Homo-oligomer: A and B are copies of this chain.
Amino acid sequence: MRSIHSRVPATLLSCCAVATLGAAGGAPAATTAAAPEAVATQLRDAATAGHNIAYQWVSELTTRFGPRPAGSVNERQAAEWAAARFKALGFENVRIESFPVTAWVRGTDSARISAPLAQPLVVAALGESPPTPAAGLEGEVVMYPSLTALKAAAAGTLTGKIALVTRHMVRTQDGEGYSAAVDARVDGPAEAARHGAIAFMLRSVGTDSHRLPHTGTTGYTDGKVPIPAFALSPPDAEQIERLAALGESVRVHLNSSASYVHDAHSQNVIGEVRGRERPEEVVLLGAHLDSWDQGTGAVDDGTGTAIITAAAKLIRDADHRPRRTVRVVLYGSEEVAQPGPPGGAFGGHAYADHHKAELAQHVLAGESDTGADRVYQLTVPPAVSDGEFAQMALRVLTPIGILAAARPSRDFGTDVDPSVEAGVPGFALAQDASRYFDIHHTPDDTLDKVDRAQLDQNVAAWAAFVWLAADSDVDFRAHPTAPGH
Protein backbone atom coordinates (compact mmCIF):
# COMPACT_ATOMS: atom_id res chain seq x y z
CA MET A 1 0.00 0.00 0.00
CA ARG A 2 0.69 3.69 -0.08
CA SER A 3 1.71 5.25 -3.29
CA ILE A 4 5.33 5.68 -4.11
CA HIS A 5 4.46 8.64 -6.32
CA SER A 6 5.95 11.88 -5.15
CA ARG A 7 3.68 14.33 -3.41
CA VAL A 8 2.97 17.70 -4.94
CA PRO A 9 2.98 20.61 -2.49
CA ALA A 10 -0.39 22.35 -2.29
CA THR A 11 -1.60 25.60 -0.89
CA LEU A 12 -3.21 25.67 2.53
CA LEU A 13 -6.96 25.70 2.70
CA SER A 14 -8.60 27.19 5.72
CA CYS A 15 -10.56 24.57 7.58
CA CYS A 16 -12.19 27.28 9.67
CA ALA A 17 -13.72 29.45 6.98
CA VAL A 18 -16.87 27.35 6.84
CA ALA A 19 -20.03 29.46 6.86
CA THR A 20 -22.03 28.94 10.01
CA LEU A 21 -25.39 27.49 9.15
CA GLY A 22 -28.36 26.73 11.31
CA ALA A 23 -27.70 23.15 12.33
CA ALA A 24 -23.94 23.42 12.64
CA GLY A 25 -22.62 21.55 15.64
CA GLY A 26 -25.95 20.14 16.73
CA ALA A 27 -28.35 17.45 15.60
CA PRO A 28 -30.66 18.57 12.83
CA ALA A 29 -33.84 19.71 14.52
CA ALA A 30 -36.66 18.97 12.13
CA THR A 31 -35.58 16.34 9.63
CA THR A 32 -37.41 13.20 8.64
CA ALA A 33 -35.90 9.76 9.22
CA ALA A 34 -34.93 9.72 5.58
CA ALA A 35 -32.90 12.91 5.68
CA PRO A 36 -29.32 12.16 4.63
CA GLU A 37 -27.74 13.29 7.88
CA ALA A 38 -30.10 11.17 9.97
CA VAL A 39 -29.46 8.08 7.86
CA ALA A 40 -25.70 8.69 7.95
CA THR A 41 -25.86 8.97 11.72
CA GLN A 42 -27.81 5.72 11.95
CA LEU A 43 -25.29 3.90 9.76
CA ARG A 44 -22.42 5.34 11.79
CA ASP A 45 -23.92 4.19 15.06
CA ALA A 46 -24.76 0.74 13.77
CA ALA A 47 -21.19 0.25 12.58
CA THR A 48 -19.66 1.58 15.78
CA ALA A 49 -21.83 -0.81 17.77
CA GLY A 50 -20.29 -3.68 15.82
CA HIS A 51 -23.23 -4.31 13.54
CA ASN A 52 -21.15 -4.66 10.40
CA ILE A 53 -19.41 -7.45 8.53
CA ALA A 54 -15.88 -6.04 8.39
CA TYR A 55 -14.15 -8.26 10.92
CA GLN A 56 -15.84 -11.39 9.61
CA TRP A 57 -14.79 -10.39 6.07
CA VAL A 58 -11.13 -9.81 6.84
CA SER A 59 -10.97 -12.89 9.05
CA GLU A 60 -12.34 -15.19 6.36
CA LEU A 61 -10.38 -13.55 3.53
CA THR A 62 -7.03 -13.82 5.29
CA THR A 63 -7.74 -17.26 6.72
CA ARG A 64 -8.96 -18.93 3.55
CA PHE A 65 -6.49 -17.42 1.11
CA GLY A 66 -3.46 -16.37 3.17
CA PRO A 67 -1.00 -14.29 1.16
CA ARG A 68 -2.42 -13.03 -2.14
CA PRO A 69 0.49 -11.84 -4.27
CA ALA A 70 -0.31 -10.18 -7.57
CA GLY A 71 -0.97 -12.75 -10.27
CA SER A 72 -1.12 -15.70 -7.88
CA VAL A 73 -3.65 -18.49 -7.55
CA ASN A 74 -4.43 -17.23 -4.06
CA GLU A 75 -5.23 -13.75 -5.39
CA ARG A 76 -7.49 -15.19 -8.07
CA GLN A 77 -9.35 -17.51 -5.70
CA ALA A 78 -9.79 -14.63 -3.26
CA ALA A 79 -11.29 -12.56 -6.09
CA GLU A 80 -13.72 -15.34 -6.97
CA TRP A 81 -14.70 -15.65 -3.33
CA ALA A 82 -15.17 -11.88 -3.03
CA ALA A 83 -17.38 -11.77 -6.13
CA ALA A 84 -19.54 -14.60 -4.78
CA ARG A 85 -19.81 -12.79 -1.44
CA PHE A 86 -20.73 -9.54 -3.19
CA LYS A 87 -23.66 -11.33 -4.80
CA ALA A 88 -24.67 -12.90 -1.51
CA LEU A 89 -24.57 -9.46 0.13
CA GLY A 90 -27.04 -8.16 -2.44
CA PHE A 91 -24.60 -6.06 -4.45
CA GLU A 92 -25.49 -5.53 -8.11
CA ASN A 93 -23.57 -5.67 -11.37
CA VAL A 94 -20.98 -7.91 -9.75
CA ARG A 95 -18.11 -8.70 -12.09
CA ILE A 96 -14.45 -9.65 -12.24
CA GLU A 97 -12.30 -7.71 -14.71
CA SER A 98 -9.01 -9.42 -15.53
CA PHE A 99 -5.80 -7.87 -16.83
CA PRO A 100 -2.37 -9.30 -17.63
CA VAL A 101 0.54 -9.00 -15.20
CA THR A 102 4.03 -10.31 -14.82
CA ALA A 103 3.96 -12.06 -11.45
CA TRP A 104 7.03 -11.96 -9.24
CA VAL A 105 7.62 -15.10 -7.14
CA ARG A 106 9.94 -14.85 -4.15
CA GLY A 107 11.12 -18.44 -3.98
CA THR A 108 13.53 -18.64 -1.07
CA ASP A 109 15.81 -15.91 0.12
CA SER A 110 18.49 -16.08 2.74
CA ALA A 111 21.52 -14.19 3.91
CA ARG A 112 24.36 -14.41 6.33
CA ILE A 113 27.29 -12.44 7.56
CA SER A 114 30.16 -14.52 6.19
CA ALA A 115 33.04 -12.59 7.79
CA PRO A 116 34.44 -11.93 10.35
CA LEU A 117 32.36 -14.85 11.76
CA ALA A 118 29.33 -16.59 10.25
CA GLN A 119 26.00 -15.25 11.53
CA PRO A 120 22.56 -15.64 9.96
CA LEU A 121 20.75 -12.52 8.76
CA VAL A 122 17.01 -12.07 8.32
CA VAL A 123 16.26 -10.57 4.92
CA ALA A 124 13.52 -10.39 2.33
CA ALA A 125 14.15 -9.81 -1.35
CA LEU A 126 12.43 -6.66 -2.56
CA GLY A 127 9.53 -7.21 -4.94
CA GLU A 128 10.57 -7.44 -8.62
CA SER A 129 14.16 -8.06 -7.55
CA PRO A 130 16.07 -10.47 -9.80
CA PRO A 131 17.52 -13.65 -8.28
CA THR A 132 21.13 -14.07 -7.28
CA PRO A 133 23.19 -16.78 -9.00
CA ALA A 134 22.17 -20.17 -7.62
CA ALA A 135 25.27 -20.28 -5.40
CA GLY A 136 24.46 -16.82 -4.10
CA LEU A 137 26.77 -13.84 -4.20
CA GLU A 138 29.09 -12.41 -1.63
CA GLY A 139 30.81 -9.13 -1.07
CA GLU A 140 32.03 -6.54 1.35
CA VAL A 141 29.33 -4.27 2.73
CA VAL A 142 29.60 -0.51 2.24
CA MET A 143 27.18 1.52 4.33
CA TYR A 144 25.40 4.77 3.55
CA PRO A 145 23.17 6.71 5.92
CA SER A 146 20.71 7.63 3.14
CA LEU A 147 19.96 7.36 -0.54
CA THR A 148 21.36 10.84 -0.93
CA ALA A 149 24.71 9.68 0.45
CA LEU A 150 24.68 6.67 -1.88
CA LYS A 151 23.97 8.91 -4.85
CA ALA A 152 26.90 11.11 -3.88
CA ALA A 153 29.37 8.21 -3.59
CA ALA A 154 32.49 8.48 -5.72
CA ALA A 155 32.56 6.53 -8.97
CA GLY A 156 33.75 2.95 -8.51
CA THR A 157 33.30 3.02 -4.76
CA LEU A 158 31.02 0.02 -4.91
CA THR A 159 32.60 -2.11 -7.62
CA GLY A 160 32.09 -5.74 -6.60
CA LYS A 161 30.60 -4.71 -3.27
CA ILE A 162 27.20 -4.64 -1.58
CA ALA A 163 25.55 -1.33 -0.74
CA LEU A 164 23.61 -0.94 2.50
CA VAL A 165 21.45 2.10 3.25
CA THR A 166 20.89 2.32 7.00
CA ARG A 167 18.37 5.15 7.20
CA HIS A 168 15.69 4.84 9.91
CA MET A 169 12.07 5.56 9.18
CA VAL A 170 10.42 8.13 11.46
CA ARG A 171 7.13 7.17 13.13
CA THR A 172 4.38 9.65 12.24
CA GLN A 173 0.60 9.59 12.49
CA ASP A 174 0.07 10.62 8.88
CA GLY A 175 2.50 8.19 7.28
CA GLU A 176 4.82 10.91 6.02
CA GLY A 177 7.71 9.07 7.66
CA TYR A 178 7.21 6.40 5.02
CA SER A 179 7.10 8.86 2.17
CA ALA A 180 10.34 10.36 3.43
CA ALA A 181 12.21 7.04 3.64
CA VAL A 182 10.87 4.89 0.82
CA ASP A 183 13.05 6.53 -1.82
CA ALA A 184 15.91 4.26 -0.79
CA ARG A 185 13.79 1.19 -1.52
CA VAL A 186 12.51 2.50 -4.83
CA ASP A 187 15.66 4.05 -6.26
CA GLY A 188 18.41 2.39 -4.22
CA PRO A 189 19.06 -0.66 -6.41
CA ALA A 190 19.51 1.47 -9.54
CA GLU A 191 21.83 3.89 -7.74
CA ALA A 192 23.89 1.08 -6.26
CA ALA A 193 24.15 -0.64 -9.64
CA ARG A 194 25.26 2.64 -11.21
CA HIS A 195 28.14 2.67 -8.72
CA GLY A 196 29.13 -0.91 -9.56
CA ALA A 197 27.48 -2.74 -6.66
CA ILE A 198 26.65 -6.43 -7.07
CA ALA A 199 23.67 -6.20 -4.71
CA PHE A 200 21.69 -3.69 -2.70
CA MET A 201 20.40 -3.89 0.88
CA LEU A 202 18.55 -1.45 3.03
CA ARG A 203 17.35 -1.27 6.59
CA SER A 204 13.67 -2.09 6.29
CA VAL A 205 11.38 0.87 5.73
CA GLY A 206 9.44 0.33 8.93
CA THR A 207 9.10 1.58 12.48
CA ASP A 208 9.45 -1.63 14.48
CA SER A 209 12.44 -3.45 15.88
CA HIS A 210 11.65 -7.08 15.11
CA ARG A 211 13.49 -9.70 13.05
CA LEU A 212 10.86 -9.31 10.33
CA PRO A 213 11.97 -7.59 7.12
CA HIS A 214 9.68 -5.23 5.24
CA THR A 215 9.56 -6.06 1.55
CA GLY A 216 8.03 -3.78 -1.08
CA THR A 217 8.39 -3.04 -4.71
CA THR A 218 11.45 -1.39 -6.12
CA GLY A 219 12.09 0.65 -9.25
CA TYR A 220 12.98 -0.43 -12.73
CA THR A 221 15.84 0.81 -14.87
CA ASP A 222 15.50 0.01 -18.57
CA GLY A 223 12.66 -2.38 -17.84
CA LYS A 224 14.14 -4.30 -14.92
CA VAL A 225 15.55 -4.12 -11.43
CA PRO A 226 19.27 -4.09 -12.21
CA ILE A 227 20.71 -6.05 -9.25
CA PRO A 228 19.35 -8.28 -6.47
CA ALA A 229 17.91 -6.14 -3.72
CA PHE A 230 17.02 -7.02 -0.13
CA ALA A 231 15.47 -5.53 2.97
CA LEU A 232 17.20 -6.35 6.24
CA SER A 233 15.20 -6.48 9.44
CA PRO A 234 16.02 -3.45 11.62
CA PRO A 235 17.98 -5.48 14.23
CA ASP A 236 20.04 -7.08 11.43
CA ALA A 237 20.95 -3.70 9.95
CA GLU A 238 22.04 -2.56 13.40
CA GLN A 239 24.11 -5.72 13.87
CA ILE A 240 26.12 -4.92 10.73
CA GLU A 241 26.53 -1.30 11.82
CA ARG A 242 27.83 -2.37 15.23
CA LEU A 243 30.25 -4.90 13.74
CA ALA A 244 31.64 -2.19 11.49
CA ALA A 245 31.89 0.16 14.49
CA LEU A 246 34.05 -2.48 16.21
CA GLY A 247 36.47 -2.07 13.32
CA GLU A 248 35.51 -5.18 11.41
CA SER A 249 35.19 -5.40 7.65
CA VAL A 250 31.84 -7.09 7.13
CA ARG A 251 31.16 -9.48 4.27
CA VAL A 252 27.67 -10.72 3.48
CA HIS A 253 26.44 -13.69 1.46
CA LEU A 254 23.07 -13.27 -0.24
CA ASN A 255 20.82 -15.78 -1.93
CA SER A 256 17.50 -15.39 -3.72
CA SER A 257 15.72 -17.74 -6.07
CA ALA A 258 13.16 -15.15 -7.17
CA SER A 259 11.51 -15.66 -10.54
CA TYR A 260 8.92 -14.12 -12.85
CA VAL A 261 5.75 -15.53 -14.41
CA HIS A 262 5.17 -13.51 -17.57
CA ASP A 263 1.75 -14.81 -18.60
CA ALA A 264 -0.05 -14.30 -15.31
CA HIS A 265 -3.15 -12.24 -14.81
CA SER A 266 -4.72 -10.29 -12.01
CA GLN A 267 -8.23 -8.91 -11.62
CA ASN A 268 -10.46 -6.24 -10.15
CA VAL A 269 -13.67 -7.25 -8.40
CA ILE A 270 -16.57 -4.83 -8.77
CA GLY A 271 -19.97 -4.61 -7.12
CA GLU A 272 -22.57 -1.89 -6.74
CA VAL A 273 -25.40 -0.55 -4.68
CA ARG A 274 -27.37 1.11 -7.49
CA GLY A 275 -28.63 4.63 -6.89
CA ARG A 276 -32.36 5.38 -6.82
CA GLU A 277 -32.30 8.65 -8.80
CA ARG A 278 -29.02 9.07 -10.60
CA PRO A 279 -27.65 5.52 -10.95
CA GLU A 280 -25.18 6.58 -13.63
CA GLU A 281 -23.40 8.80 -11.11
CA VAL A 282 -20.84 6.77 -9.18
CA VAL A 283 -19.20 7.21 -5.79
CA LEU A 284 -16.16 4.95 -6.07
CA LEU A 285 -14.84 3.08 -3.01
CA GLY A 286 -11.48 1.38 -3.47
CA ALA A 287 -9.17 -1.01 -1.63
CA HIS A 288 -6.91 -3.80 -2.86
CA LEU A 289 -7.32 -7.52 -2.64
CA ASP A 290 -3.73 -8.50 -3.42
CA SER A 291 -1.08 -8.50 -0.70
CA TRP A 292 2.58 -9.08 -0.20
CA ASP A 293 3.58 -12.71 0.06
CA GLN A 294 5.12 -12.70 3.53
CA GLY A 295 2.03 -12.01 5.64
CA THR A 296 -1.63 -12.65 4.96
CA GLY A 297 -2.39 -9.07 3.94
CA ALA A 298 -4.59 -8.40 6.95
CA VAL A 299 -3.93 -4.69 7.38
CA ASP A 300 -2.53 -4.29 3.84
CA ASP A 301 -5.16 -4.37 2.64
CA GLY A 302 -7.61 -6.98 3.84
CA THR A 303 -9.05 -4.46 6.29
CA GLY A 304 -9.48 -1.90 3.50
CA THR A 305 -11.52 -4.37 1.47
CA ALA A 306 -13.49 -5.20 4.63
CA ILE A 307 -14.14 -1.57 5.53
CA ILE A 308 -15.49 -0.51 2.14
CA THR A 309 -17.47 -3.72 1.67
CA ALA A 310 -19.01 -3.47 5.13
CA ALA A 311 -19.83 0.22 4.56
CA ALA A 312 -21.50 -0.57 1.24
CA LYS A 313 -23.43 -3.40 2.86
CA LEU A 314 -24.77 -1.03 5.53
CA ILE A 315 -25.80 1.38 2.75
CA ARG A 316 -27.38 -1.49 0.83
CA ASP A 317 -29.45 -2.44 3.85
CA ALA A 318 -30.67 1.08 4.67
CA ASP A 319 -34.40 1.78 4.40
CA HIS A 320 -33.92 3.31 0.96
CA ARG A 321 -31.21 3.54 -1.68
CA PRO A 322 -29.04 6.65 -1.95
CA ARG A 323 -29.60 8.83 -5.01
CA ARG A 324 -26.31 7.87 -6.63
CA THR A 325 -24.62 4.53 -7.15
CA VAL A 326 -22.01 3.31 -4.66
CA ARG A 327 -19.43 1.21 -6.47
CA VAL A 328 -17.01 -0.98 -4.55
CA VAL A 329 -13.82 -1.95 -6.39
CA LEU A 330 -11.41 -4.49 -4.89
CA TYR A 331 -8.34 -3.91 -6.99
CA GLY A 332 -5.73 -6.50 -7.93
CA SER A 333 -1.99 -6.19 -8.22
CA GLU A 334 -1.64 -2.96 -6.23
CA GLU A 335 1.59 -3.92 -4.51
CA VAL A 336 3.61 -4.07 -7.69
CA ALA A 337 2.31 -0.74 -9.00
CA GLN A 338 5.11 1.38 -10.40
CA PRO A 339 5.11 5.11 -11.10
CA GLY A 340 5.70 4.47 -14.77
CA PRO A 341 6.08 1.76 -17.39
CA PRO A 342 6.69 -1.14 -17.56
CA GLY A 343 5.03 -1.65 -14.22
CA GLY A 344 1.92 0.23 -15.27
CA ALA A 345 -0.27 -2.81 -15.57
CA PHE A 346 -1.92 -2.85 -12.19
CA GLY A 347 -5.50 -2.73 -10.99
CA GLY A 348 -5.76 1.02 -10.64
CA HIS A 349 -4.60 1.63 -14.21
CA ALA A 350 -6.66 -1.26 -15.55
CA TYR A 351 -9.81 0.14 -13.96
CA ALA A 352 -9.22 3.69 -15.20
CA ASP A 353 -8.54 2.38 -18.71
CA HIS A 354 -11.47 0.02 -18.84
CA HIS A 355 -13.95 2.54 -17.42
CA LYS A 356 -12.54 5.61 -19.15
CA ALA A 357 -15.88 6.51 -20.70
CA GLU A 358 -17.61 6.44 -17.32
CA LEU A 359 -15.10 8.49 -15.35
CA ALA A 360 -16.83 11.78 -16.12
CA GLN A 361 -19.82 10.37 -14.22
CA HIS A 362 -17.67 9.29 -11.27
CA VAL A 363 -18.59 12.03 -8.82
CA LEU A 364 -16.15 11.09 -6.04
CA ALA A 365 -13.53 8.44 -5.24
CA GLY A 366 -11.74 7.34 -2.09
CA GLU A 367 -9.55 4.44 -0.93
CA SER A 368 -8.96 2.63 2.35
CA ASP A 369 -5.40 1.37 2.45
CA THR A 370 -3.59 2.23 5.67
CA GLY A 371 -4.62 -0.58 7.95
CA ALA A 372 -7.48 -0.60 10.40
CA ASP A 373 -6.58 1.91 13.06
CA ARG A 374 -9.04 4.74 13.55
CA VAL A 375 -9.82 7.41 11.01
CA TYR A 376 -8.82 10.80 12.40
CA GLN A 377 -9.06 13.14 9.45
CA LEU A 378 -11.43 13.89 6.57
CA THR A 379 -10.27 15.47 3.34
CA VAL A 380 -12.96 16.55 0.88
CA PRO A 381 -12.38 18.01 -2.58
CA PRO A 382 -11.52 21.72 -2.57
CA ALA A 383 -14.75 22.49 -4.40
CA VAL A 384 -16.80 21.58 -1.32
CA SER A 385 -14.39 22.20 1.54
CA ASP A 386 -16.05 25.48 2.53
CA GLY A 387 -19.68 24.51 2.14
CA GLU A 388 -22.59 22.86 3.88
CA PHE A 389 -21.66 19.38 2.66
CA ALA A 390 -18.35 19.42 4.52
CA GLN A 391 -20.02 20.88 7.56
CA MET A 392 -22.69 18.19 7.58
CA ALA A 393 -20.06 15.47 7.14
CA LEU A 394 -18.12 16.79 10.12
CA ARG A 395 -21.24 16.95 12.25
CA VAL A 396 -21.60 13.22 11.67
CA LEU A 397 -17.90 12.31 11.84
CA THR A 398 -16.46 14.50 14.59
CA PRO A 399 -18.34 12.58 17.30
CA ILE A 400 -16.30 9.51 16.31
CA GLY A 401 -13.01 11.39 16.42
CA ILE A 402 -12.57 12.81 12.94
CA LEU A 403 -11.42 16.35 12.17
CA ALA A 404 -11.18 18.26 8.92
CA ALA A 405 -7.80 18.11 7.22
CA ALA A 406 -5.95 21.40 7.30
CA ARG A 407 -4.55 20.83 3.81
CA PRO A 408 -5.90 19.30 0.65
CA SER A 409 -4.49 15.99 -0.50
CA ARG A 410 -3.04 15.00 -3.85
CA ASP A 411 -2.61 11.35 -2.96
CA PHE A 412 -5.79 9.37 -2.45
CA GLY A 413 -4.38 5.87 -2.82
CA THR A 414 -2.48 3.95 -5.44
CA ASP A 415 -5.61 2.28 -6.78
CA VAL A 416 -7.84 5.30 -7.23
CA ASP A 417 -5.10 7.75 -8.20
CA PRO A 418 -5.27 6.87 -11.92
CA SER A 419 -8.98 7.72 -11.82
CA VAL A 420 -8.29 10.88 -9.83
CA GLU A 421 -5.62 11.85 -12.32
CA ALA A 422 -8.29 11.44 -15.00
CA GLY A 423 -10.41 14.05 -13.23
CA VAL A 424 -12.43 12.21 -10.60
CA PRO A 425 -12.57 14.22 -7.35
CA GLY A 426 -10.90 12.41 -4.45
CA PHE A 427 -11.75 12.24 -0.78
CA ALA A 428 -9.75 10.77 2.08
CA LEU A 429 -10.64 9.30 5.44
CA ALA A 430 -7.10 9.27 6.80
CA GLN A 431 -6.26 6.48 9.20
CA ASP A 432 -3.90 6.75 12.13
CA ALA A 433 -0.69 5.27 10.68
CA SER A 434 1.29 5.31 13.93
CA ARG A 435 1.33 1.51 14.27
CA TYR A 436 0.87 0.64 10.63
CA PHE A 437 4.50 0.66 9.58
CA ASP A 438 5.47 -1.70 12.38
CA ILE A 439 4.01 -4.55 10.34
CA HIS A 440 3.56 -3.15 6.82
CA HIS A 441 4.93 -5.57 4.18
CA THR A 442 6.26 -8.00 6.81
CA PRO A 443 5.32 -11.59 7.71
CA ASP A 444 3.60 -10.01 10.71
CA ASP A 445 0.73 -8.59 8.66
CA THR A 446 -1.78 -11.06 10.10
CA LEU A 447 -5.29 -10.94 11.52
CA ASP A 448 -4.23 -10.74 15.15
CA LYS A 449 -2.99 -7.19 14.49
CA VAL A 450 -6.48 -5.91 13.71
CA ASP A 451 -8.09 -3.88 16.51
CA ARG A 452 -11.74 -4.68 16.14
CA ALA A 453 -13.10 -1.53 17.80
CA GLN A 454 -10.97 0.67 15.55
CA LEU A 455 -12.02 -1.36 12.51
CA ASP A 456 -15.65 -0.69 13.41
CA GLN A 457 -14.93 3.05 13.63
CA ASN A 458 -13.53 2.91 10.11
CA VAL A 459 -16.67 1.26 8.81
CA ALA A 460 -18.76 3.90 10.61
CA ALA A 461 -16.80 6.71 8.97
CA TRP A 462 -17.04 5.20 5.49
CA ALA A 463 -20.71 4.26 5.70
CA ALA A 464 -21.72 7.68 6.99
CA PHE A 465 -19.56 9.75 4.66
CA VAL A 466 -20.35 7.71 1.57
CA TRP A 467 -24.04 7.85 2.35
CA LEU A 468 -23.90 11.65 2.53
CA ALA A 469 -22.00 11.87 -0.77
CA ALA A 470 -24.17 9.34 -2.57
CA ASP A 471 -27.51 10.64 -1.29
CA SER A 472 -26.68 14.19 -2.38
CA ASP A 473 -26.60 16.06 -5.65
CA VAL A 474 -23.47 17.94 -4.64
CA ASP A 475 -21.01 18.59 -7.46
CA PHE A 476 -17.56 17.73 -6.09
CA ARG A 477 -15.66 18.85 -9.17
CA ALA A 478 -13.82 22.14 -9.22
CA HIS A 479 -15.14 24.42 -11.96
CA PRO A 480 -13.68 27.68 -13.26
CA THR A 481 -15.05 30.60 -11.29
CA ALA A 482 -17.69 32.46 -13.27
CA PRO A 483 -16.76 35.99 -14.42
CA GLY A 484 -17.70 38.60 -11.93
CA HIS A 485 -17.04 36.37 -8.91
Contacts and interface: CB of A to CB of B under 8 A. Distances in A.
Interface stretch (A16-24, A61-69, A316-324, A412-420): A61-69
B243 A64 contact: yes
A243 B64 CA distance: 7
A67 B117 CA distance: 11
Contacts of A122: 443
A117 B65 contact: yes
Given A66-B119, A77-B117, A210 B212 contact: yes
A215 to B, nearest CB: 13
A66 B239 CA distance: 9
B212 A63 contact: no
A131 interface: no
B448 A209 contact: yes
Contact of A235 (B67, B116, B120, B446): B446
Interface in A214-252: 234-235, 238-239, 242-243, 246
Interface string A48-72: 0000000000011011111100000
B444 A211 contact: yes
Contacts of A67: 119-120
A295 interface: yes
Among A120, A122, A210, A442, chain B packs the most CB atoms within 10 A around the CB of A210
B65 A234 contact: no
A66 B234 contact: no
Interface in A55-106: 59-60, 62-67, 73-74, 77
A186 interface: no
A234 B443 CA distance: 12
Contacts of A287: none
B74 A117 contact: yes
Given A113-B66, A117-B66, A444 B210 contact: yes
Contacts of A238: 447-448
A246 B63 contact: yes
A119 B294 CA distance: 10
A449 B208 CA distance: 11
A443 B211 contact: yes
A457 interface: no
B242 A63 contact: yes
Nearest to A65: B117
A296 interface: yes
A293 B443 CA distance: 20
Nearest to A62: B239
Contacts of A444: 210-211, 235
A448 B64 CA distance: 35
A444 B77 CA distance: 34
A416 to B, nearest CB: 29
Among A67, A238, A448, chain B packs the most CB atoms within 10 A around the CB of A448
A20 B180 CA distance: 63
Given A117-B74, A117-B77, A122-B443, A211 B65 contact: no
A63 B240 CA distance: 8
A210 B445 CA distance: 9
B295 A211 contact: yes
Interface string A275-302: 0000000000000000001011000000
B212 A446 contact: no
A446 B239 contact: yes
Contacts of A65: 117, 119
Interface of A: 59-60, 62-67, 73-74, 77, 113, 116-120, 122, 209-212, 234-235, 238-239, 242-243, 246, 293, 295-296, 442-444, 446-449
29 contacts: A59-B242, A63-B242, A64-B116, A64-B117, A64-B243, A64-B246, A65-B117, A66-B113, A66-B117, A66-B119, A67-B120, A73-B117, A74-B117, A74-B118, A77-B117, A120-B293, A122-B443, A209-B448, A209-B449, A210-B444, A211-B212, A211-B295, A211-B443, A235-B444, A235-B447, A235-B448, A238-B447, A239-B296, A242-B447
Given A73-B118, A210-B444, 12 more contacts: A63-B246, A65-B119, A66-B113, A66-B118, A67-B119, A67-B120, A77-B117, A119-B296, A209-B449, A210-B210, A211-B442, A239-B296
